Structure 1
Amino acid sequence: MHRDELWRVIDDQRRTLTDQLAELTDDEWRQPSLCAGWTVRDVTAHLTLQHVGAGEALRGLARYRFDVFRATREAACAKAAMPTEELIAEIRGHIGSRRHVPFVTANEALIDVLVHGQDIMAPLGRRHDVPPHAAAAAAARIWSRPFLFPAMKELRGYAFVSTDANFRAGDGPVIEGPILAILLLLTGRRALLGQLSGPGAAALSQPTTPGAAPA
């Protein structure tokens, strides 16, 4: 994706997501997300952290001995204590900005907003649309950076074919279906596994651990 188009999608996703967040009930904010051990509020709080500076990020990592997942979790928990309206306002305030988390690129910001939007809305039974071409770009980025995504260790042994976007990757038993379902699977989330078909999908349709924590 062209950089301007990438940021346009990020802005659109943030706008739509904050509109939906404003509609949630108090009970929905407390519900589990697709991320094991994270509530809808926790994941929303995580999405406010895109503007953290490099110094603050390094201090947070050092505090937890450079355990990225623990540092991410603790930062999100601290933010989750904020009033609901402030969480929504912070994400809405990111619209139009080109800042992102230090030490990564705008591509990771795209992955973040696409996947975490589903983490929040899917378990609530609320639809949150994602442009297929953007999901394909995110999936391609993940495929090129497998070391950043623990689920990829297992999934490298499969071939993925999107039925609604230009994405094909890998060798092995075929997993075929909508790009959003593929994107979620590549990030360790099996919520849409039922939308995928092929020998590879059948092999994966076994009891497994819940989805990955935000990254």
Structure 2
Amino acid sequence: MSISDLRRHNDERFTDLAARLTDREWAQPSRCDGWTNHDVLAHLVIGLTIPLHQVLTAMVRHGGSFDQANATLARDLAARTTPADLLAEFTQASRKPRGIGRLFPPQLLLGDHVIHELDITTALHREPAIPPDVLAAVLNTEVHIPNPFIPARARAAGLHLHADDMPWEHTRGPGQPPSVTASAADLASALAGRQEALLRCHGDGLPVLRQRMPHRRPTPPKSRH
């Protein structure tokens, strides 16, 4: 199965899960700093649909910062669109991405969707339901493919990473590098910069990984509910 097909099948599974969330659950903070679960869903829709020129315009308004533009676009869309309507658009766009969704490499798009699903489900204290082959694909992308938005590959450098719930491991560095062990989902989240995932990681490489995490202060999400 191609990465694009894997992403589409996984999106269908995520849509079924997301359709069962309540309004209260959508309004809760996600594991993505400063974003509610509703904001995260809006971001997923934007990543599949928004024209490139709108992203560039938003970046100009935010002094060239992609992160700030990205956050503003997601919050603005969430403020004017219900989760149900966002899910309907996500379902349609997942089958046929447009805008920047056609430009992103399929590996990075799959990773973005999986990490943000974990942002939602982990915040709701739900066990991840992501299939092992999907998690393996995301982890392999994180440790092998440079990402201009999330430096997961740099965070993995010089570490032995080991998933304790499925057959996946990766070593990048000479000799016997320090090790970090966790579930595949937590490893993927940690490499994506989610501080909370470190609480479920262990090993002598954990201090190294912790030093490589982002150090920005969380921005409190705006309440709209």
TM-score range, shorter chain: 0.7 to 0.9
Instruction: Give the structure 2 partner of residue 97 of structure 1.
Output: 96
Instruction: Give the structure 2 partner of residue 191 of structure 1.
Output: 196
Say whether the 8 Å CA contact 2:128–2:185 is kept in structure 1: no
Q: Distance in 2 between matches of 1:17 and 1:65?
A: 34
Note closer, same or farther for the CA distance 1:151–1:9 as it changes in structure 2 (3 Å cut): closer
**Which amino acid in the other structure matches residue 184 of structure 2?**
I
Instruction: Give the structure 2 partner of residue 17 of structure 1.
Output: 14
Q: Distance in 2 between matches of 1:24 and 1:128?
A: 14
Note closer, same or farther for the CA distance 1:132–1:17 as it changes in structure 2 (3 Å cut): same
For 1:171-190, list aligned pairs within 5 A: 171=173, 172-190=177-195
Counterpart of 2:196 in 1: which secondary structure?
coil
Gaps of 5+ in 1: none
Q: Name the % identity.
A: 25
CA displacement at 1:48 relative to structure 2: 0.7
**What number of residue pairs does the alignment pair up?**
210
CA displacement at 1:199 relative to structure 2: 1.5
Q: Return the TM-score normalized by structure 1.
A: 0.82
For 1:1-215, list aligned pairs within 5 A: 3=2, 6-49=3-46, 50-81=48-79, 82-99=81-98, 100-101=100-101, 103-143=103-143, 144-145=145-146, 147-150=148-151, 153-163=154-164, 164-171=166-173, 172-201=177-206
Q: Cα RMSD between the aligned structures?
A: 2.9
**Which amino acid in the other structure matches residue 116 of structure 2?**
H
Note closer, same or farther for the CA distance 1:133–1:123 as it changes in structure 2 (3 Å cut): same
Note closer, same or farther for the CA distance 1:147–1:57 as it changes in structure 2 (3 Å cut): closer
Q: Distance in 1 between matches of 2:30 and 2:217?
A: 9
Q: Distance in 1 between matches of 2:218 and 2:150?
A: 9
**Which amino acid in the other structure matches residue 134 of structure 1?**
V
Q: Distance in 2 between matches of 1:56 and 1:78?
A: 13
**Which amino acid in the other structure matches residue 10 of structure 2?**
Q
CA displacement at 1:174 relative to structure 2: 0.5
Q: Return the TM-score normalized by structure 2.
A: 0.79
CA displacement at 1:195 relative to structure 2: 4.1
**Which amino acid in the other structure matches residue 129 of structure 1?**
A
Say whether the 8 Å CA contact 2:42–2:74 is kept in structure 1: yes
**Which amino acid in the other structure matches residue 34 of structure 1?**
R
Say whether the 8 Å CA contact 2:40–2:116 is kept in structure 1: yes
Say whether the 8 Å CA contact 1:190–1:211 is kept in structure 2: no
Say whether the 8 Å CA contact 1:181–1:195 is kept in structure 2: yes
CA displacement at 1:108 relative to structure 2: 1.1
Note closer, same or farther for the CA distance 1:210–1:193 as it changes in structure 2 (3 Å cut): farther
Note closer, same or farther for the CA distance 1:75–1:45 as it changes in structure 2 (3 Å cut): same
Note closer, same or farther for the CA distance 1:77–1:193 as it changes in structure 2 (3 Å cut): same
Note closer, same or farther for the CA distance 1:194–1:162 as it changes in structure 2 (3 Å cut): same
Q: Distance in 2 between matches of 1:119 and 1:33?
A: 5
